[in-house]
Amino acid sequence: MRRIKNKGKLLLLVMLSLALVLFQGMTTVAKSEAHIQPLWIEHTIDGDSLGAYSVYATDVDSDGDMDVLGASFQDNEITWWENDGDENFIEHTIDSNFLCAASVYATDIDGDGDMDVLGASFRKNKITWWENDGNENFTEHTIDGDFRYTYSAYAADVDSDGDVDVLGASFRDNEITWWENDGDENFTEHTIDSDFVYARSVYAADVDSDGDVDVLGASYWGCGITWWENDGDENFTEHAVNSDLQYAYSVYATDIDGDGDTDVLGGSYYGIIWWQNDGDENFTENAIGSDFWDVNSVYAADVDGDGDVDVLGVAYWDNYITWWENDGDENFTKHTIDSDFLCAASVYATDIDSDGDVDILGASSQGNEITWWENANIVDMINDVIESIEELGLREGINNSLISKLDNSIKAIEKGQSNTAVNILNAFNNHVEAQIGKDISDENANILINDVQSIIDNIN
């Protein structure tokens, strides 16, 4: 399945006009410094992953490309999809009886050089890892079989001894816990907090920049967003980032403002918030998506490749998967990737197609989808558009005057003159409509008109 989402149509206009200019041998207009939004092309990896709830990506089979992993709540499955290098994905079931699979992650847990898989089962009350033998045959190992109603599992070297430890959040037991790996994958349980009410999410990062791994958690009720300071000997001291935040679902940490320390990102029923670390772990709250409800998952990455950290989130009941563009001064502009991603449960971002930019992954619980959105490469898309011009028969019907209109609309967009751009594009559509039955067929003209109208709608 391949759909171009409306939010990417603006970039399609740029590529279309550039392609036409190239095709007719005209001089292209130099691109200004203004930033143009990514074009997103939707690809469904699996449309039958019942209750898809968690998504992650890494090179599972060590062949140099990015594979995808998912946890499906209703299918009770942990699955990975093998990328053949051309983003054709082959499904492989790791576990088909992992009751209410809620979380999936992957890392080299046993230190043998291949990628193992970690999962959390909500109804089976399990934290489990599957050992990869190097040929993607997976052997199940239970870390904890009585960690009740767990939504979240993560892995990091908590004790800095060179092996990978495991962390989990127990909704029913109100616990944030880590399991110490002795180096032979025997795991010893250590409770960090036994009163973290309705623990919903766990993450690990060096929050205080002292060289060890600290732990973060999101509490659905009563404890908000919290971090636990590791003293270097795995004695943890609790610090509230925001203890008043209700219905917190998700927590993540990274350097959002580019000042060299670790900031905190959280998602709750009430929206997306980031907390700026002043370098001494005093956190200042900043709302990003206050009109974005029931945020089941948050993530951060440089989506638009401009050198700063952007934010991503999903609104579960509103069916949105969205990113917020950071202007470099932490002013965030909202961009919708998909407004019909039913019960959007999980978001992740990485370079799926190995073309050097950041693509988006999502899990839709009601739509039963694992999906990725391609951040389109402009050179490739120009070639695609040139081919489509010929395929649609538009070459003969689009004269220099029409191309000039497209060029002028680009100039207006790059200058921030949105009203001017809309007027030019409306004039363009009127001109194309007037050519119906003359130089352009009705069908092909309507394709072009609808494309441009989508651009106008997005500008407005």
The alpha carbon of residue 71 and the mean position of all alpha carbons in its chain are separated, in whole angstroms, by 16
**pTM of the entire structure?**
0.81
How far apart, in whole angstroms, are the C-alpha atoms of residue 118 and residue 138? 11
Which residues does 52 contact at the CB level (< 8 Å), separation at least 6?
A: 46, 70, 71, 72, 73, 345, 346, 363, 364, 365, 367, 368, 369, 370
Q: Nearest-5° angle of CA 223, CA 103, CA 126?
A: 85
Phi/psi at 261 (nearest 5 deg)? -120, 175
Q: What pLDDT is stored for residue 200 in this prediction?
A: 98
How far apart, in whole angstroms, are the C-alpha atoms of residue 55 and residue 64? 19
- DSSP characters over 57-83: EE-TTSSSS-EEEEEETTTTEEEEEEE
Q: What pLDDT is stored for residue 388 in this prediction?
A: 55
How far apart, in whole angstroms, are the C-alpha atoms of residue 197 and residue 421? 52
Q: What pLDDT is stored for residue 452 in this prediction?
A: 72
Q: What pLDDT is stored for residue 382 in this prediction?
A: 39
How far apart, in whole angstroms, are the C-alpha atoms of residue 444 and residue 164? 57
Contact 3, 42 (CB under 8 A): yes
Task: Sheet containing 225-230: give its strands across.
Answer: 199-205, 214-219, 225-230, 236-242
How far apart, in whole angstroms, are the C-alpha atoms of residue 244 and residue 269? 13
What the block records as the tokens of 142 is 């239970």
Contact 345, 364 (CB under 8 A): yes
At 22 the three-state DSSP class reads: helix
Q: What pLDDT is stored for residue 129 in this prediction?
A: 98
Contact 99, 76 (CB under 8 A): yes
Q: What pLDDT is stored for residue 437 in this prediction?
A: 75
pLDDT along the chain (460 residues), means of 10: 42 42 36 54 95 98 98 98 98 98 98 98 97 98 97 98 98 97 98 97 98 98 95 98 95 98 97 98 93 96 96 97 97 95 98 96 98 72 48 63 69 71 81 76 77 66
How far apart, in whole angstroms, are the C-alpha atoms of residue 325 and residue 138? 39
State how far the alpha carbon of 123 is from the alpha carbons of 145, 158, 163, in Å.
11, 27, 29
